[in-house]
Homo-oligomer: A and B are copies of this chain.
Amino acid sequence: MTNIQTAIQDHFWSHYSELVRQTVIPYQWEALNDRIQDAEPSYSIRNFRIAAGLEVGEFGGWIFQDSDLYKWLEAVAYSLKRYPDPELEKMADGAIGLIGQAQHENGYLNTYFTIQEPGKEWTNLYEAHELYCAGHLFEAAVAYYDATGKRNLLDIACRFADLIASLFGTNPGQMRAYCGHPEIELALVKLYQATGEERYLNLSLYFIDERGSKPSYFLEEWERRGRTTIWAQGEPNLEVYQSHLPVREQSVAVGHSVRAVYLYTAMADIARLTGDSKLSEACERLWANTTGKQMYITGGIGATHLGEAFTFDHDLPNDTVYAETCASIGMIFWARRMLQLEAKSEYADVMERALYNNVLGSMAKDGKHFFYVNPLEVWPEASAKSPDKFHVKPVRQKWFGCSCCPPNVARLISSLDEYIYGVSEDGQAVHVHLYIGSELSFETGGRKVSLSQKSELPWNGRVEFSVMIPGSTNDGIAFNLALRIPNWFGSERPTLTVNGETLQYHVEQGYAIINRAWNDGDKLEWLLPIETKLIAANPLIRADAGKAAIQRGPLVYCVEEADNGKPLATLSLADEPVLSESEASGLLGGCVVVEGNGVVADQSGWEEGLPYRPLSKKRKAVRFKAIPYYLWGNREPGEMSVWLRY
């Protein structure tokens, strides 16, 4: 992919990449250094300093705290690639130097075991996250090398990867083990792609193959540890860690949802690189289950906070929901890999759904406050007073003790350009997955081609493309351009014009395929008029029965107390909702607001303290106002709901 470059220039998304560059990355650096007032300390940098012998103290934070620094470095790398910044790069180099100092002679690198339990390395693969942290190191190293051309972090990563490759595998004397938290598998694929070293791909394949084999390594290891665990009680739960079955035999998404999608991401990578059809079939089955039966309309996954986990098909409660930010980010990673396996629009549809709703909504407008849990229904008093909902926060938090999500958002948004296009190896097929203003450069048949995209999404559905072929002699360069037809678009086909003339096209796997010889200056217009729609959930999803959600293009909407009063639960859609749209430039930084006819229960006659009485059908007509879900929780804390009774 070295001959492909993408640069985002978008009226909607550039704001967010700027926010990440100017605010999120500096803010998170302060957080990693424990300099955010009134926020839980991170301990990340301090742990590395202690492990490097520069400071004395105890390990702080979670056992996987190292990964926060790695994820920050990865985000920094993506940012540096687009916006060189010597100051930031110096800061990053300093952190990398510190990481190097904390690395052992033999390549081992993990501040928890170095500080807290030296000698106990690799004795708790089930819970101790050593390989997981290594994975985040590898991802950061590859990104930093790609952005700066510097090998400083890559060399650290390779030394550690080489140690791991020597310790794990099927050879005599090696551990037949794998990590409780998948992550290293996808990271090793990146390391392979960056270095060309097949042993990293093979190591990833080994971890994938070994997972779920019998007898279970996790059970044996638990016995060896005298049946002790860090968090879990009793015998390891193999489903929670997706190690209950060999991965090729898995069909249903189970367990901790972030672990699950990180694993499936690597499975899709390996399936593509090895052509293993058993693995790609497993990916397809797991995809169908996850996105068809266990995904919220916002692209969130994980129905319960207990184990941050999937529960079972069609169980998607809106108020006790988990829908962790990291899990939706993992969905996006996975969707991207599925698109590389096979360009089907449903993968991009899910990618877009998760991106514009669950993930984007996790970050406050200021870039300094984040949701870990992304609910579809909030009653702030319940979040404060009902232990069943303590995990559902009505306002974004500054920083979390377990702060996996904020740096994950930063690295996703700062690498968003990698998710827009898919270009085949030979440059003969260019898929447009996301409609985000950007410029793509690639090569086909030895010629350089640029494709410039201008998009008015998510507010309007007008997208323009211009083809630029430097030094063109108008002899035409043939390649297929494939434009995704989003699943939120109606049953009609979108209108396509090329140089002002309407063009017929055929559709493959949800993409409009335009097969022609392109010339410099060719202009395409792709019209996806956006309508506001009421969406129903499958009747098997009990939590949404009798309810509808509002969706406008890729954006799911919600109603908030700030606009509609409370209790929000008494608001329903009128028989004729008559939805209307209006631009509200002053609201929450500007957005399109949807209004509609609703009814609310008549609260009169309910004296204080009367709990039940004969039903009266007296109801009051109101005009309700809905805002995009990703903007919720940016005003006074209040009730919120995505689903409305009809």
**Chain A residues proximal to chain B, CB less than 8 Å:** 288-289, 291-293, 295, 297, 303-307, 309, 311-312, 315, 317, 320, 379, 381-382, 385-388, 533-543, 545-546, 548-549, 567, 569-570, 572, 601, 603, 606, 608-617, 645-646
Q: In the complex the two chains form, what is the Cα distance from A610 to B313 in whole Å?
A: 12
Q: In the complex the two chains form, what is the Cα distance from A569 to B385 in whole Å?
A: 27
Can you sample 11 A-B contacts with CB below 8 Å?
A292-B609, A292-B610, A305-B388, A306-B388, A311-B382, A317-B388, A320-B320, A533-B615, A537-B611, A542-B567, A549-B612
Q: Evaluate contact between A536 and B613: CB separation under 8 angstroms.
A: yes
Q: In the complex the two chains form, what is the Cα distance from A270 to B641 in whole Å?
A: 47
Q: Evaluate contact between B539 and A385: CB separation under 8 angstroms.
A: no
Q: Evaluate contact between A315 and B539: CB separation under 8 angstroms.
A: no
Also in contact, A615 and B536, with CB within 8 A (given A317-B388, A387-B307, A609-B293): yes
Also in contact, A312 and B539, with CB within 8 A (given A387-B306, A614-B533): no
Q: Evaluate contact between B304 and A388: CB separation under 8 angstroms.
A: yes
Q: In the complex the two chains form, what is the Cα distance from A537 to B297 in whole Å?
A: 29
| CB nearest neighbor in B for A549 | B612
**Contact among B292, B381, B545, B548 for A570, CB-based, below 8 A:** B545
Q: Evaluate contact between A612 and B546: CB separation under 8 angstroms.
A: no
Q: Evaluate contact between A292 and B611: CB separation under 8 angstroms.
A: yes
Q: Evaluate contact between A304 and B387: CB separation under 8 angstroms.
A: yes
Q: Evaluate contact between B535 and A612: CB separation under 8 angstroms.
A: yes
In the complex, which residues of chain B have a beta carbon less than 8 angstroms from the beta carbon of A569?
539, 542-543, 545-546
Q: Evaluate contact between A537 and B612: CB separation under 8 angstroms.
A: yes
Also in contact, A615 and B535, with CB within 8 A (given A304-B387, A382-B311, A387-B304): yes
Q: Evaluate contact between A379 and B610: CB separation under 8 angstroms.
A: no
**Contact among B307, B320, B611, B646 for A295, CB-based, below 8 A:** B611
Also in contact, A534 and B606, with CB within 8 A (given A307-B387, A385-B312): no
Q: Evaluate contact between A534 and B381: CB separation under 8 angstroms.
A: no
**Contact among B291, B305, B549, B609 for A288, CB-based, below 8 A:** B609
Q: Evaluate contact between B612 and A536: CB separation under 8 angstroms.
A: yes
In the complex, which residues of chain B have a beta carbon less than 8 angstroms from the beta carbon of A289?
609
| CB nearest neighbor in B for A306 | B387
Also in contact, A546 and B567, with CB within 8 A (given A536-B616, A614-B535, A646-B615): no
Q: In the complex the two chains form, what is the Cα distance from A608 to B608 in whole Å?
A: 47
Q: Evaluate contact between B613 and A535: CB separation under 8 angstroms.
A: yes
Also in contact, A545 and B601, with CB within 8 A (given A320-B388, A387-B307): yes
CB proximity of A510 to chain B, nearest CB, Å: 14
In the complex, which residues of chain B have a beta carbon less than 8 angstroms from the beta carbon of A614?
533-536
In the complex, which residues of chain B have a beta carbon less than 8 angstroms from the beta carbon of A540?
567, 606
**Contact among B291, B539, B567, B613 for A601, CB-based, below 8 A:** B539
CB proximity of A39 to chain B, nearest CB, Å: 22
